[in-house]
């Protein structure tokens, strides 16, 4: 049996939700994204169609479950009030001129200040979407350096997924799997370095985007051939 690290185990537990509870996962995505990006029960009611009572329960449960995230947003907001900007991924700064001149959280707080706080806190989180850009650039640089430029071609990026066209050769696929995953799991930055929430990724391969087969991290040639044989035998 192949040994796995603690990070790989935790990533597997989290990712297993997709296969164990697909319907609950699907239903939870909308409310989770809405509340994560500073929405409220009102957002769930107006945009998600949830009854008011249920929307309140969902928001209260979310705030309790993700209390650390709430504290993180509050800390960021205090920083914006004091400094007039917020720091995002890779050293980028977003100016927050309204917040720095306003007292938040009371009946006199203008809507524009509350909106700026929501947008800025969203920017902090969403700016880390550039991790995919970093991973794709680093992977492509290694592909070119290691002589696989005619075998592997990066072709697209959608949200948190990178797409490649590659030669149907187990050695090429193994190189892409090992190289891409190592770059996708990169977390060499103090703001995202964590053993509690590891970076995780998995390569899926197939004949088309709508029919993909998952490849284990660190798969050997035999494991890769098993997957490619399955793909070859499918319609």
pLDDT given for residue 94 in this prediction: 95
Indicate whether 26 and 98 sit together in one domain.
yes
The CATH code of the domain that includes 63 is: 1.10.150.20
More confident residue, 147 or 15: 147
Torsion angle defined by CA atoms of residues 187, 192, 198 and 204, in that order, rounded to the nearest 10 degrees: -60
Reported confidence tier of residue 2, pLDDT bands at 50, 70, 90 = low
User: Are 58 and 49 within 8 A, CB to CB?
Assistant: no
Counting Cα atoms < 13 Å in the Cβ hemisphere of 204 gives 12
pLDDT given for residue 235 in this prediction: 60
Reported confidence tier of residue 208, pLDDT bands at 50, 70, 90 = confident
Q: What percent of the chain has pLDDT over 70?
A: 95
Q: Is the pLDDT of residue 213 over 80?
A: yes
**Taking Cα atoms as reference points, which of 177, 142, 135, 176 lies closest to residue 157?**
135
* Mean pLDDT of the 87-112 span: 86
* Mean pLDDT score of the chain: 89
**Taking Cα atoms as reference points, which of 106, 123, 122, 104 lies closest to residue 114?**
104
Q: Is the pLDDT of residue 1 over 60?
A: no
pLDDT given for residue 7 in this prediction: 62
* Mean pLDDT of the 2-11 span: 67
Domain boundary among 65, 97, 128: 128
pLDDT given for residue 71 in this prediction: 92
Indicate whether 141 and 98 sit together in one domain.
no
pLDDT given for residue 76 in this prediction: 93
Per-residue tokens: 201: 């990724």
User: Are 52 and 38 within 8 A, CB to CB?
Assistant: no
User: Are 203 and 215 within 8 A, CB to CB?
Assistant: yes
- Convert the pLDDT of each residue in 131-185 to its tens digit: 999 999 999 999 999 999 999 999 999 988 999 999 999 999 999 999 999 999 9
Length of the chain: 235
User: Are 134 and 180 within 8 A, CB to CB?
Assistant: no
**Taking Cα atoms as reference points, which of 187, 177, 228, 235 lies closest to residue 210?**
235
Domain boundary among 111, 128, 145: 128
Say how far apart CA 234 and CA 206 lie, in whole Å: 10
Tell me how far CA of residue 194 lies from CA of 33, 34, 188, in angstroms.
22, 25, 10
Say how far apart CA 203 and CA 178 lie, in whole Å: 9
- Convert the pLDDT of each residue in 57-86 to its tens digit: 999 999 998 898 889 999 999 999 999 999
Indicate whether 124 and 23 sit together in one domain.
yes
Indicate whether 69 and 149 sit together in one domain.
no
pLDDT given for residue 180 in this prediction: 97
Indicate whether 82 and 169 sit together in one domain.
no
Indicate whether 121 and 137 sit together in one domain.
no
| 3-class SS string, 161-215 | EEEEEECCCHHHHHHHHHHHHHHHCCCCCCCCCCCCCCCCCCEEEEEECCEEEEE
* Mean pLDDT of the 12-17 span: 75
Write out the residue range of the structural domain in which residue 133 sits.
Answer: 129-233
Say how far apart CA 4 and CA 215 lie, in whole Å: 15
pLDDT given for residue 10 in this prediction: 67
């Amino acid at each position: 049996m192949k040994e796995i690290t603690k990070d790989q185990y935790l990533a597997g537990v989290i990712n297993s939700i997709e296969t164990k509870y697909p319907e609950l996962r699907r239903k939870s995505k909308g409310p989770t994204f809405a509340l994560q990006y500073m929405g409220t029960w009102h957002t769930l009611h107006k945009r998600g169609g949830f009854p008011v009572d249920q929307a309140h329960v969902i928001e209260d449960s979310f705030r309790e479950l993700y209390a650390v995230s709430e504290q993180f947003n509050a800390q960021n907001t205090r920083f914006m009030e004091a400094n007039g900007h917020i720091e995002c991924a890779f050293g980028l700064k977003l100016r927050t001129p309204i917040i720095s001149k306003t007292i938040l959280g009371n009946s006199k707080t203008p809507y524009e200040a509350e909106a700026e706080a929501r947008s800025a806190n969203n920017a902090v989180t969403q700016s880390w979407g550039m991790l995919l850009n970093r991973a794709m650039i680093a992977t492509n640089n290694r592909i070119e350096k290691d002589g696989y430029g005619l075998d592997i071609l990066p072709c697209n990026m959608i949200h948190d997924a990178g797409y490649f066209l590659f030669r149907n050769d187990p050695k090429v696929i193994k190189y892409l799997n090992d190289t891409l995953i190592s770059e996708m799991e990169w977390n060499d930055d103090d703001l995202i370095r964590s053993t509690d929430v590891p970076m995780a990724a998995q390569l899926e391969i197939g004949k088309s985007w709508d029919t993909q087969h998952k490849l284990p991290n660190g798969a050997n040639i035999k494991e890769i051939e098993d997957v490619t044989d399955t793909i070859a035998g499918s319609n």
